[in-house]
Amino acid sequence: MSSPPIVREGPAAPTRPDRGLPLQGAPAPQPTPPGWYVMAVLLLRQARANWRLVMALALVGAVAGTATALLLPSRYQAKAAFQAENPPSQLQLGGGGLAGLIGSQLGGLQFGSPNSPQLLADLLTTDAVLRRVVNRSYSWRGQPATLAAIYGYDRERPELRDFLAIKKLHGALSVDLDIRTGVVRFTVEGRTPELALAIAETTLAALNEANIELRKQRASAERAFTAQRSADAGLALAAAENSLAAFYQRNRNLTTSPTLQMEEANLRRSVDIAQQLFVQLRLQEEQAALQALRNTPAIGVIDPPVLPARRSWPNRKLAVATGLLIGLALAFLRLAGKLVSA
């Protein structure tokens, strides 16, 4: 009997112990690209195939942006910068001792609030200033007109007309304050360069007028207060002097009585205090009177407004670029719609 043939097999291929699959053999499958990449490639192919459509829509968008920039009314900005003027120094009673002490205490009373940059920056945007600007007359199309008429609110009733004009002017006004230097800068927009310049100059004048009026009102109230205090101090001084005079009438010889000498020193001290207080209050009253009459400018203009040379709005280059981008976006949206429908 013949023996069966012996079949020799080669070594078995190594396998992964976790899955029992061969490590070598068939090539690994290629990764599938993401969907957005496939869509982008298809869109670019469609754009290359329909380049006339893409160029036409981009050109239409650029033309529409140019037409919009040309049809929109132009705006011009006038700029200015100013700084608060330092208030005048208060009158002080010189000397040392009790007079200097009273002067230093009463010298802290500020008559007419000092012009702080923050106060002027906030006052610039208040109705008290903007109403003055709105009600002034400006040259518009060859004849004088108020801002309410220029803005198109002249047919409204007076209360609503001023409200709408002030609101529109407030939107056209921007204020910037530099805390470190105390410089206040503002920008105002107008439909023409001449109108923007006139509004900026009127705003500076209105701010100065409103600040002076506010300073006078405060000074008048403080003058009335110091006048009353000065009158009371005068009565106290008269009473102290009468007490000292009556003491001298009752006591002719003071050299032999230490008690009378001490009483005399107390009465003299009361007269001195009352006299120095009365003098200081009189000085403060005069200072308040001067503040109530001052009409000097409260602001110092650092950078006066000038005639704008270029428009601030609309930006025609930006409008053309925006129209071009919108046209391209519409073209790609249309091509993407065709791909989705196919």
Per-residue pLDDT of the chain (342 residues; tens, 9 = 90+): 445 554 444 455 454 555 555 545 556 666 787 877 777 888 888 888 888 888 888 888 888 888 877 777 778 999 999 998 765 545 444 444 444 544 554 444 444 445 688 888 999 999 999 999 999 999 998 899 999 999 989 888 888 999 999 999 999 999 999 988 889 999 999 999 999 999 999 999 999 998 888 888 888 888 888 888 888 888 998 998 898 888 888 887 777 788 888 988 898 999 999 899 999 988 988 888 777 676 667 788 999 999 998 887 677 788 788 888 998 888 888 888 877 776
pLDDT for res 26: 54
Q: Encoding tokens for residue 122?
A: 């906030």
Rounded CA separation 330/342 (Å): 18
* Residues 98/273, Cβ–Cβ less than 8 Å: yes
The pTM of this model reads 0.64
Element (H, E) at 211: helix 193-250
Rounded CA separation 57/255 (Å): 116
* Residues 335/47, Cβ–Cβ less than 8 Å: yes
E strands, the chain, in order: 76-84, 137-140, 143-146, 173-178, 183-190, 299-303
Paired residues of 175 in beta bridges: 186
The single-letter code of the amino acid at 119 is L
pLDDT for res 144: 92
pLDDT for res 170: 93
The 3-class SS string of 73-127 reads CCEEEEEEEEEECCCCCCCCCCCCHHHHHHHHHHCCCCCCCCCCHHHHHHHHCCH
Rounded CA separation 64/137 (Å): 37
Residue with tokens 């068939």: 26
- In 3D space, the residue among 145, 124, 123 whose CA is nearest the CA of residue 136 turns out to be 145
Instruction: Please give the DSSP secondary-structure letter assigned to residue 177.
Output: E
Output the CA–CA distances (angstroms, integers) from residue 289 to 42, 281, 297, in the order listed: 85, 12, 17
Q: How large is the greatest C-alpha to C-alpha distance in the chain, in angstroms?
A: 175
pLDDT for res 27: 60
Rounded CA separation 208/135 (Å): 16
What are the structural domains of the chain? 37-72+318-341 (no CATH), 76-308 (3.30.1890)
Rounded CA separation 140/285 (Å): 48
